[in-house]
C-alpha cells in the first residue's frame, strides 16, 4: 500500500513537472539524414530518444539471453526434446511389453540421451536386444547404461546376469555374479541368482557351500532349501562313489571323506544315511554300512533304514539278526522290520524262522517284495504249490485285475 502511494506521488510530480516544462518553448530538434529531414519539438524529440534507448536496451537483453543459451527459444526447444523423449520412451516400453523387440530397442535407445532416466532406457533396450538374440549389442547397451548414471554398477550388473541367464549363457552369468558378490557379498538377489546358476550348471559343490548363507538370510522357502541341500550332497556322494569304482580298489577315502564334510543336519537325515550306506555296500564295504545302520537304528528308528539293513551282509550275520530281533520287542507289528528279519534269517540259514517272518509281514501288509521273497523260499523248500499261489496273487494285485468269475479246475 505504501509503495503504491509513493509511485502515485512520483507520477503526479513528474506529470506536474512535464506540464510546466511544456509551457516553455525550448526550441526544436532538427535531424538531416541524406535527402531526409526530420524536425520536431524538443519535448517530443526527447521522448522519442528515450523510447529508442529503452528499445535498444531491451533488444540487447533478448539477444544476450539467446547467445548465452538460456533464452526463451532455447528453453522451449529443450522442453520440446524432453517431451519427445518421454513419448518415445513410453512407446518403447509398450513395445517391450508387447514383445516387439526391434521397435522397443529402437525407441528406447534413440530417446535415452534426452530421457529423464537414461539408465531405465538403456536397461530396457538391453533387454529387448537380448530377447532378439543380439548379445553383442546387449553388452554395449549395458556399458552405456553404466556410463549414463554414476553408482549404477550393481544395478547394471544384476541386469546383465539376468539377461545372461535368460539367454542360457550360464558361464558368463556365473562370472558376472561372482564379481557382483565380491562387490556386495550379502546382496539377497545376487545370492538367489547364484543359486539358480549353480543349479543349472549342476555345480553341487558350490551350491552346497552357498546354501548355509541362503538359509541364514532366509532367502527361500525352508523346505525347498532342504530339498536342494539334500540333492546337492547326494549328487556329491554319488560322484565320490563313482570315483571309488573308477579306482577299482578298496580305497573308499573319497566317499568316507565326503561323509565327514556333510553338515550335521544331513548326517542325521534318514534318506541321506540310507544313500550313503547303500553306496558303501555297493563299493564293497558292507561291514561299515551295517555298522553305521545299526548305530543309527539303535537311537533313531526309520523304516527306510531297516529295509536297507535287511539287504546288507555284515561281518557277523548272527549278531546282525540278534540286533534286529531286539528291535522287534518294541515294534512287533512293523512289516518292514519283519521283512528284514526274514532276510537276515535266510543269511543265517534259518529257513523256518525266515518263512515265519515273511508270512507275518505279509499278513500285516501285502507287498510285492514280501510276496516274492516268500514265494522264492517256498519254491526252494519244495512247496511249489504255495509258491505258485503267492506269485499269482502278487501278479493279480500288481496288474490291478478286476474281480471276475473264474472256471473251477
Q: Give me the CATH number covering residue 343.
A: 1.25.40.10
87 within some domain: yes
Higher pLDDT, 87 or 296: 296
Question: Which range, of 138-147, 170-179, 332-341, 384-393, averages the lowest pLDDT?
Answer: 384-393
- 389 pLDDT band (50/70/90 cuts)? confident
- pLDDT, residue 141, reads 86
359 within some domain: yes
Higher pLDDT, 292 or 55: 292
Which range scores top for mean pLDDT: 61-75, 129-143, 342-356, 375-389? 342-356
- pLDDT, residue 378, reads 85
CA distances from 396 to 82, 99, 261, 393, 401 (A): 79, 56, 47, 5, 6
228 within some domain: no
Question: Which range, of 172-176, 353-357, 398-402, averages the lowest pLDDT?
Answer: 398-402
Q: Which residues pair with 38 in a beta bridge?
A: 31
- pLDDT, residue 47, reads 64
Residue 7 CA to residue 360 CA, distance in Å, equals: 119
Domain range spanning residue 356? 334-399
- Write down the mean pLDDT value for the chain: 84
Question: Which range, of 169-173, 278-282, 301-305, 378-382, averages the lowest pLDDT?
Answer: 378-382
Which range scores top for mean pLDDT: 87-91, 96-100, 199-203, 402-406? 199-203
| Domain boundary residue, one of 105, 129, 150 | 150
164 within some domain: no
Does 70 have pLDDT greater than 90? no
The total domain count for the chain is 2
Looking at the chain, the whole-number percentage of residues with pLDDT higher than 90 is 46
Average confidence (pLDDT) over 258-275: 93
Residue 142 CA to residue 112 CA, distance in Å, equals: 12
Residue 43 CA to residue 22 CA, distance in Å, equals: 7
| Domain boundary residue, one of 125, 150, 175 | 150
371 within some domain: yes
Higher pLDDT, 22 or 136: 136
Query: Would you say the pTM of this structure is higher than 0.85?
Result: no
Residue showing cell 514280501 = 370
- pLDDT, residue 130, reads 86
Higher pLDDT, 403 or 372: 372
Residue 303 CA to residue 347 CA, distance in Å, equals: 20
206 within some domain: no
Q: What is the CATH number of the domain that holds 142?
A: 1.25.40
Higher pLDDT, 164 or 29: 164
Does 24 have pLDDT greater than 70? no
347 within some domain: yes
Which range scores top for mean pLDDT: 17-26, 64-73, 235-244? 235-244
Higher pLDDT, 382 or 306: 306
- By C-alpha distance, which of 153, 84, 165, 91 is closest to 127? 165
Does 176 have pLDDT greater than 90? yes
- pLDDT, residue 223, reads 93
Where in 26-80 does DSSP place strands (E)?
28-33, 36-41
Structure confidence by residue, pLDDT tens digits, 105-119: 888 878 777 777 888
CA distances from 290 to 48, 177, 311 (A): 119, 44, 10
Average confidence (pLDDT) over 360-385: 88
242 within some domain: no
Dihedrals φ, ψ of 367, to 5°?
A: -120, 150
Does 14 have pLDDT greater than 90? no
Evaluate whether 358 touches 390 at the Cβ level (below 8 Å).
no
Average confidence (pLDDT) over 164-181: 93
Does 377 have pLDDT greater than 80? yes
| Domain boundary residue, one of 97, 116, 150 | 150
Higher pLDDT, 228 or 93: 228
Complete DSSP assignment for 176-191: HHHHHHHHSTT-HHHH
Residue showing cell 509551457 = 23
- pLDDT, residue 351, reads 94
- pLDDT, residue 43, reads 59
Evaluate whether 210 touches 201 at the Cβ level (below 8 Å).
no
- pLDDT, residue 41, reads 64
Structure confidence by residue, pLDDT tens digits, 320-363: 999 999 999 999 999 999 999 999 999 999 999 999 999 999 99
Amino acid at each position: 500500500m505504501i509503495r503504491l502511494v509513493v509511485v502515485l506521488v512520483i507520477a503526479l510530480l513528474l506529470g506536474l513537472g512535464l506540464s510546466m516544462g511544456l509551457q516553455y518553448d525550448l526550441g526544436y530538434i532538427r535531424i538531416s539524414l541524406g535527402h531526409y529531414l526530420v524536425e520536431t519539438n524538443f519535448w517530443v524529440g526527447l521522448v522519442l530518444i528515450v523510447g529508442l534507448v529503452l528499445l535498444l536496451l531491451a533488444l540487447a537483453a533478448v539477444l544476450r539471453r539467446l547467445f548465452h543459451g538460456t533464452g526463451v527459444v532455447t528453453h522451449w526447444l529443450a522442453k520440446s526434446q524432453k517431451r519427445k523423449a518421454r513419448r518415445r520412451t513410453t512407446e518403447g516400453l509398450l513395445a517391450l511389453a508387447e514383445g516387439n523387440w526391434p521397435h522397443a530397442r529402437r525407441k528406447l535407445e534413440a530417446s535415452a540421451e534426452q530421457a529423464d532416466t537414461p539408465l531405465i532406457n538403456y536397461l530396457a533396450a538391453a533387454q529387448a536386444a537380448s530377447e532378439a538374440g543380439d548379445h553383442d549389442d546387449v553388452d554395449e547397451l549395458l556399458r552405456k547404461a553404466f556410463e549414463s548414471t554414476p553408482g549404477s554398477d550393481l544395478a547394471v550388473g544384476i541386469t546383465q546376469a539376468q539377461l545372461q541367464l535368460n539367454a542360457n549363457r550360464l558361464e558368463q552369468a556365473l562370472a558376472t555374479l561372482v564379481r557382483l558378490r565380491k562387490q556386495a557379498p550379502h546382496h539377497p538377489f545376487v545370492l538367489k541368482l547364484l543359486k539358480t546358476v549353480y543349479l543349472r550348471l549342476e555345480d553341487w559343490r558350490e551350491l552346497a557351500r552357498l546354501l548355509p548363507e541362503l538359509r541364514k538370510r532366509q532367502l527361500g522357502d525352508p523346505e525347498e532349501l532342504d530339498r536342494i541341500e539334500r540333492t546337492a550332497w547326494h549328487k556329491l556322494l554319488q560322484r565320490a562313489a563313482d570315483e571309488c569304482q573308477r579306482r577299482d580298489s578298496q580305497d573308499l577315502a573319497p566317499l568316507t571323506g565326503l561323509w565327514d564334510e556333510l553338515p550335521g543336519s544331513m548326517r542325521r537325515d534318514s534318506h541321506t544315511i540310507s544313500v550313503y550306506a547303500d553306496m558303501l555296500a555297493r563299493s564293497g564295504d558292507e561291514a561299515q554300512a551295517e555298522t553305521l545302520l545299526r548305530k543309527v537304528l539303535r537311537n533313531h528308528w526309520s523304516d527306510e533304514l531297516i529295509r536297507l539293513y535287511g539287504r546288507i551282509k555284515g561281518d557277523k550275520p548272527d549278531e546282525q539278526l540278534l540286533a534286529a530281533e531286539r528291535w522287534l520287542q518294541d515294534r512287533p507289528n512293523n512289516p518292514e522290520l519283519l521283512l528284514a528279519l526274514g532276510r537276515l534269517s535266510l543269511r543265517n540259514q534259518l529257513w523256518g524262522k525266515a518263512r515265519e517272518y515273511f508270512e507275518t509281514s505279509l499278513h500285516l501288509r501285502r507287498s510285492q517284495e514280501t510276496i516274492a521273497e516268500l514265494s522264492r523260499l517256498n519254491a526252494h523248500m519244495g512247496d511249489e504249490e504255495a509258491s505258485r499261489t503267492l506269485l499269482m496273487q502278487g501278479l493279480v494285485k500288481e496288474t490291478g485285475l478286476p474281480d471276475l468269475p473264474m472256471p473251477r479246475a
